[in-house]
Copies of this chain bind each other. A is one copy, B any other.
Amino acid sequence: MAKSTLKPADFKPQAQVFKALGHPGRLLIVDELSRGERCVCELAEMVGSEMPTVSRHLSILKNAGIVDDDKRGTQVFYRLMTPCVMKFFQCVCDVKSKGGAR
Decide if A21 is an interface residue (CB 8 Å cutoff): yes
Number of copies: 2
Q: How far apart are A22's CB and chain B's nearest CB, in angstroms?
A: 3
Answer whether A84 and B88 are a contact pair too, CB < 8 Å, given A10-B28, A22-B22. Answer: no
Interface size range of chain A in the complex: 35 or more
Q: Mark interface residues in A19-53 (1 if CB within 8 Å of B CB, else 0).
A: 11111111110010000000000000001100000
Residue from B7, B81, B92 within 8 A of A14 (CB atoms): B92
Decide if A2 is an interface residue (CB 8 Å cutoff): no
Contact: A31 with B48, CB < 8 Å?
no
Decide if A72 is an interface residue (CB 8 Å cutoff): no
